[in-house]
Amino acid sequence: MKTQLFQKDFITTQDWTVDELQTMLDVAFKLKADFAMGVPQDHILRAKTLYMLFFEESTRTRNSFETGMTQLGGHAIYLTPKATQIGHGENAKDTGMVLGSYGNAIAVRDCRTGIGQRYLRELARWSPVPIYSMQEDVDHPCQAMADLMTLQELFGRNLRGRKFVISWTYAPKYVRPLSVPQSLIMLMPRFGMDVTLAHPEGYHLMPEIMEIARRNAEEAGVKFEVVDDMDAAFENADFVYPKSWGPIMVTEDEAEVEAMAARHKDWRATAKRMKLAKKHAVYMHCMPIDRGHEADDEVIDGPQSVIYQQAENRLHVQKALMALTMGGRW
């Protein structure tokens, strides 16, 4: 267990070692068990403050962070650019130094392509307190860690040799960022999983992230492959994660995005496709799900679905993150 994590930023899982990430999971499991048994936790971050800056709205992210901070005895403050001087042009240095002098951590959700993670890095350069990514254009580290926690909960800590599939799926209109699939292809190989990425032409991920995923797989001695066939990807899979994302490396024009997606309406998680995976395979999704497009209800609500467990584990992973990096009192 690595306990020297006080004041450490969490912008991407790549910045943490495997041992550090496993420490977060170990603490998350303890907090989850204690919460289930009614063990008080409100002394851990008593009187500490988290600033949550949202450039985009969210259901799970805001509520899991805010609820988690309350359960640990602290206070979370919801901010938007429009409700602060950021909307009037205040730069990252001024925002980070001022908020960092008031509170104990700053969490940011900023999925603007080419801007989000760079903004978090600039905040981290100046802020005297930890910076957390609540999702940006490159990574969604808290979601990926909640997904990993779910898999360890179901299948044990040793996941070596398991086949993890992240597949593009069809969804109309909304241009979803690349951060979830990118977070998964970077993180899962580091914990021993063979990772398959599946998508049609035009839905490729950032080249630099692909290179990190390949390097992580090589260092861990596991496989990382890319296929353009959803059925082939699902074959003999242990974990399947069918999710939509935009063709952001090609275009973000709404009309072009819709036209591209419409050519691949058959890329959907169905009961038939689930049968291609192993019998014990689980269906995963970060939510929100575009029901009837990304996946059929019989899959989403079926016995192999673990989506609500993933959503719950966001709370516990983020509580562990905050406790470890904000100097929790145990």
150-196 pLDDT, tens digit each: 999 999 999 999 999 999 999 987 789 999 999 999 999 999 999 99
Structural domains counted in the chain: 2
DSSP-derived secondary structure letter, 85:
G
Q: Same domain, yes or no, for 130 and 213?
A: no
Q: Which of 105, 112, 119, 23 is nearest to 72 (CA)?
A: 105
Q: Which of 110, 149, 122, 139 is nearest to 13 (CA)?
A: 139
Q: For the residues of 123-179, what is the DSSP string, one character each?
A: HHHH-SS-EEEEEESS--HHHHHHHHHHHHHHH-S--TT-EEEEEE---SS----SH
Calculated CA dihedral for residues 161, 166, 167, 173, nearest 10 degrees: 170
Residue 234 domain flag: yes
pTM (2 decimals)?
A: 0.97
Which residues form the domain of 43? 13-139+314-325
Q: Work out whether strand 105-110 and strand 75-79 pair parallel, antiparallel, or are unpaired.
A: unpaired
Q: Distance between CA atoms of 175 and 183, rounded to whole angstroms?
A: 17
Residue 1: predicted pLDDT: 72
Q: Same domain, yes or no, for 205 and 129?
A: no
Count Cα neighbours of 11 within 13 Å in the Cβ-side half-sphere: 20
Contact 44, 100 (CB under 8 A): no
Q: Distance between CA atoms of 93 and 116, rounded to whole angstroms?
A: 15
Q: Same domain, yes or no, for 269 and 248?
A: yes
Q: Same domain, yes or no, for 204 and 299?
A: yes
Q: Same domain, yes or no, for 164 and 242?
A: yes
Q: Same domain, yes or no, for 187 and 171?
A: yes
Q: Which H/E stretch holds residue 117? A: helix 116-126
Residue 34 domain flag: yes
Q: Distance between CA atoms of 274 and 279, rounded to whole angstroms?
A: 9
Tell me what percent of the residues of the chain surpass a pLDDT of 70.
100
Q: Same domain, yes or no, for 110 and 31?
A: yes
Q: Which residues of the chain have pLDDT under 50?
A: none
β-partners of residue 131 are 106
β-partners of residue 227 are 198
Residue 50 domain flag: yes
Residue 328: predicted pLDDT: 87
Residue 4 domain flag: no
Q: Same domain, yes or no, for 49 and 187?
A: no
